[in-house]
Amino acid sequence: MSKLTIKTLAKELGLSIATVSKALKDSHEISTETKKKVLAMAEQLNYVPNPYASSLRKQKSKTIAVILPEVADNFFSLAINGIQAVAVQKNYHVLIYLSHESFEIEKAVVNHCYSGRVDGVLISISSETTNAEHIQKLQSENIPVVFFDREFESLEAPKVITNDYESGYLSAKLLLEKGCKHPVFLSTSLSLSICSKRAAGFAAALSDTGLQTNNYQYVVDCTGTQEMIFDQVKDLLQKHKEIDGIVASVERLAMQIYMVSLSGHINIPKDLKVVAFSTLETAPILNPSLTTITQPAFEIGKSAAEVLFTMIEKKKHSIMADTTVILPSTLIERDSTAV
């Protein structure tokens, strides 16, 4: 903790506390000469203004919080870079909090954002989150909140998302065009709107193509640690040898599909075609290269941060509440869906 207060600094300089304080704030009331003297002494004595006291006065933290499930997913790493690109321009600090897909942790970190600690919050909810009271509380404290990627659909707040339904539709259509007769959608959590929308788009494509889907379960939930996902995928593919195509709703599912195929001598794409929602940089150098629905992760982060700063600067949170920015994803065909 800093022991050196503005009082000590004033005493050392033989100036009043008010003068030193104004000089440090670059006030026009103070002469350039005095300012220089104060700053020189402040630097010499290693004076650091107390951020808490200073925040109490200014009611501005110059800090935003980003709450997201994990950073091991490439999507979130890129989104953070997009957020940071905007924050740096605005001279703001970015605090990153991870929920690790836990509702309890998410609530605890949201509670850490209250009362002047941050000026705004960007959030991508955990897969366990099924109610939004903790986020509503933030809003009621006048802290602006913007959702990116994983939104809470029924809550009124600005959202920056991608076209999940259409992407789900396209992914199924691709598998059907490549000759798949029993494609499945591997979901991570249907309570997440991104996942349920992707699944709905997937289902719609099957239905539109006239595929008989009443005799099999074409949306399969798959969660847990990497090892648990591996076991679930392995089990699924062993029990249902008719499955000839998979859409992985998130990146880490795709990795485990590849690991299972490696361990069980399943040939991708001959036996099984794979499409993944993923921004994985290694997609082109995987064996085989992976067909992806690539989300504009950096742009989603950037756009969400821009909306948040508009709210912070204009202090009109309510008029932004129905803002929804949709940035489309891109289907990139590679060898994992080759005929």
Interface with a copy of itself (CB under 8 A): 1-2, 46, 48-53, 55-56, 59, 63, 70-72, 74, 76-78, 80-81, 84, 88, 93-98, 100, 105, 108-109, 111-112, 114-117, 137, 140-142, 226, 255, 258-259, 262, 280-282, 284-289
Matching residue, tokens 């992985």: 248
Min dist CB 128 to a copy of itself, Å, is 15
Of 110 and 161, CB closest to a copy of itself: 110
Min dist CB 187 to a copy of itself, Å, is 21
Residues recorded for the chain: 339
Min dist CB 24 to a copy of itself, Å, is 14
Min dist CB 132 to a copy of itself, Å, is 15
What is the spatial order of strands in the sheet that 273-277 belongs to? 219-221, 183-187, 245-248, 273-277, 291-294, 330-332
Of 100 and 241, CB closest to a copy of itself: 100
> What span, in angstroms and rounded, lies between the C-alpha atoms of 86 and 298?
11
The pairing of strands 291-294 and 330-332 is: antiparallel
Min dist CB 238 to a copy of itself, Å, is 19
Specify the 3-state DSSP secondary structure of 135.
Answer: helix
Of 80 and 176, CB closest to a copy of itself: 80
Matching residue, tokens 């690790």: 100
Of the candidates 327, 14, 13, 305, the one whose C-alpha atom is nearest the C-alpha of residue 167 is 327
User: Over the range 191-217, which residues count as b (16 or more CB within 10 Å of their CB) and which as e?
Assistant: ebbbbbbbbbbbbbbbeeeebeeeeee
**Tokens (6 digits) for 32:** 């350039």
Of 108 and 319, CB closest to a copy of itself: 108
| Burial of 116 per CB tally in 10 Å (0-12, 13-18, 19+) | middle
Of 53 and 319, CB closest to a copy of itself: 53
Of 59 and 318, CB closest to a copy of itself: 59
Min dist CB 285 to a copy of itself, Å, is 4
Q: How many CB atoms are closer than 10 A to CB 331?
A: 16
Torsion of CA 330, 98, 100, 151, to 10 degrees: -50
Of 68 and 176, CB closest to a copy of itself: 68
Which residue(s) pair with 246 in the sheet? Answer: 184, 274
Min dist CB 138 to a copy of itself, Å, is 10
Min dist CB 183 to a copy of itself, Å, is 21
- To 5 degrees, how large is the angle CA 167–CA 277–CA 334? 95
Of 135 and 199, CB closest to a copy of itself: 135
